[in-house]
Amino acid sequence: MSKLFLSLHVLAAIIAIGPVTVAASMFPRAVRDNSNPELLHRICRVYALIGISVPVFGFATAGVMGVTGHPWVIVSIALTTAAAFVLALKILPGQEKALETRDLKNLAVYTGIFNVLWAAVTVLMIIRPGSTTGA
């Protein structure tokens, strides 16, 4: 069962988080160039909702593997929560504002923070302190 949950967790991360990070990163330039920023905002909104499946499958995987209380999992949960808040409270509202006013104040900064948070989670998932994979 752990292999199934882990596979779903990784697939959800690739399918959901990848498009959000790319679309959010492309958004400021699309606003400046007036090259369909609405589409990028829609991608961010839709894939943010799909992205909820990533921690759901992550919790299922951690539970089945018995690692829920491990420090690397707790740190990953905290970073994922921070990324979700940055996306929901800063990036998506900032994009909506930019669509109306063309004001991009701090949007690139928040997008960078979001991307770094997810990169850190990815590294933790690969390194996993105490892992038995030997990697």
34, pLDDT greater than 80 = yes
The pLDDT score that the predictor gives to residue 121 is 94
Q: Please check whether residue 117 lies inside any domain of the structure.
A: yes
**Is residue 76 domain-resident?**
yes
The count of other CB atoms within 10 Å of the CB of residue 127 is 12
- Do the domain assignments include residue 105? yes
Residue 37 is assigned to a structural domain of this protein: yes
Question: Is residue 133 situated within a structural domain?
Answer: no
Query: How far does Cα 123 stand from its chain's mean position?
Result: 13
Question: At 2, is the pLDDT very low, low, confident or very high (cuts 50, 70, 90)?
Answer: confident
Residue range of the domain that includes 90: 2-127
Question: How many folded domains does the chain comprise?
Answer: 1
> pTM for this one?
0.90
Within-domain flag for 24: yes
Tell me if 134 is assigned to some domain.
no
The pLDDT tens digits for 40-82 are 999 999 999 999 999 999 999 999 999 899 999 999 999 999 9
pLDDT digit string, tens, across residues 90-135: 999 999 999 999 999 999 999 999 999 999 999 998 888 766 554 4
